[in-house]
Amino acid sequence: MPTFDALLRDLRVKTSEIDAATLSTELANGKHPAVIDVREADEHVQGMIPGTVHIVRGFLEQRIERAVPDREAPVVVYCASGTRSMLAARSLAELGYTNVRSLAGGFTGWKRAGLPWEQPRALRADQEARYSRHTLIPEVGIAGQLKLLESKVLCIGAGGLGSPSSMYLAAAGVGTLGMIDDDVVDASNLQRQILHGTDRVGVPKVDSAETTLRGLNPDVKVDKHRTRITAANALELIAPYDVVIDGADNFATRYLVNDSALRLGKPVIHASIFRFEGQITVFPGNGSPCYRCLYPSPPPAEEAPSCAEAGVLGVLPGIMGVLQATEAIKILLGLGNTLAGRLLVYDALATKFRELKLRRDPKCPTCGDGVDRSAIPLIDYEQFCAGPAPGRSKH
Ligand SMILES: [Zn+2]
């Protein structure tokens, strides 16, 4: 059995190293090797090389693929002094990474060379407690929680779907929630719209939503948009957000949200509910497939069901809205497989989920072949919508 010193000597011969000055030059010249800090969390919080991804040595093998999916991409690993990073480099080589270098002298050497470093952002003490069940999940961690806190999600409608989705996103610490709704709370909403309460009947829904969401989590900023989304304001409303949750109950809004989001390259999490059945899918940020791949144009007004007349089991939007919030968090954190290209149908009476494959339609008017997405026309379809005017009654 070789001693540790012998092992290190052997590794030093086999591992390519990079010195701090060379790494600094590579980073400055726009060559961007993935720089991975393999130190422990308490070392990392003291300071890091700017742009670093932190993966503690003990989780390196498990998490490297998510950080660096391409095994041929250049990777530089560092620790405090350059020893643990050499062991880490060996592990990465064993996993098939072909271009791994270990930072000679580690972070200590980097600082000694007078090169810039920074304090990683951290959660406040109260946030550490609040989000501990998130940060304990390796796939989320502190970095994921910080990402959520910086994220912005727009909920179209503060109604049946917007209630559970916004409440769970607020609880999860999504830092900014935009709520679009021009309506006031009505007694008939309370059977399912759990953002609101009996004492808020008559209050604008966006105000009621803000009270509930900020009460749940004061970290959350609520952007109140007491308006209807129209062709005139859609781009401006959607542009500041990372993800759109479509909780609209009418065709006019769904088409408008689809078309505007495609122009802006924003992902839309679409859901709809009817009596005992819910549907959900994701129209991804790259746009395909989209809502118009499913329904190229709106149905004639007389065929369009109106939510006010349709009726819905009160818990159903709860389930679908929570699924929407789940997809939003996955998109924000880059986790798992979203429902893009899949329509999930929930039958509450049978307690069954079915899945239908959605395909991009090459002839789709908004995401088909040759369509210039930046020039997609925005249309107000009000005349096609049966029942109340769009935006008046959310699920
Ligand atoms: Zn399409």
pLDDT of residue 391: 37
Instruction: Please give the sequence-ordered ranges of beta strands (E in DSSP) within 258-300, or none if there are none.
Output: 268-274, 277-283
> Ligand 1 mean position to 290 CA, how many Å?
4
> Ligand 1 mean position to 329 CA, how many Å?
24
pLDDT of residue 286: 86
Task: Kindly report the backbone phi and psi dihedral angles of residue 155, in degrees, each rounded to the nearest multiple of 5, phi listed first.
Answer: -100, 120
> Ligand 1 mean position to 360 CA, how many Å?
6
Which residue bears the tokens 């509450």?
348
Report mean pLDDT in 10-residue bins for the chain, 395 residues.
86 91 92 92 91 92 91 96 95 95 96 94 92 93 94 98 98 98 97 98 98 98 97 98 95 95 97 96 92 89 64 96 98 96 98 97 95 94 48 39
Which tokens belong to 8? 């290190």
pLDDT of residue 388: 37
pLDDT of residue 42: 86
Cβ pair 146, 124 in contact under 8 A: no
pLDDT of residue 386: 40
> Ligand 1 mean position to 238 CA, how many Å?
19
> Ligand 1 mean position to 294 CA, how many Å?
7
Pairing of strands 277-283, 221-225: unpaired
Which H/E stretch holds residue 178? Answer: strand 176-180
> Ligand 1 mean position to 259 CA, how many Å?
9
> Ligand 1 mean position to 295 CA, how many Å?
9
Whether the model clears a pTM of 0.75, i.e. scores above it, the answer is yes
pLDDT of residue 395: 44
DSSP string, 318-336: HHHHHHHHHHHHHHHHT-S
> Ligand 1 mean position to 365 CA, how many Å?
7
Which tokens belong to 238? 């959607």
> Ligand 1 mean position to 270 CA, how many Å?
14
Cβ pair 390, 382 in contact under 8 A: yes
pLDDT of residue 389: 37
- SS3 of residue 317 by DSSP: helix
The Cβ of residue 16 has, within 10 Å, a number of other Cβ atoms equal to 12
Residue 32, burial from CB neighbour count under 10 angstroms (0-12, 13-18, 19+): exposed
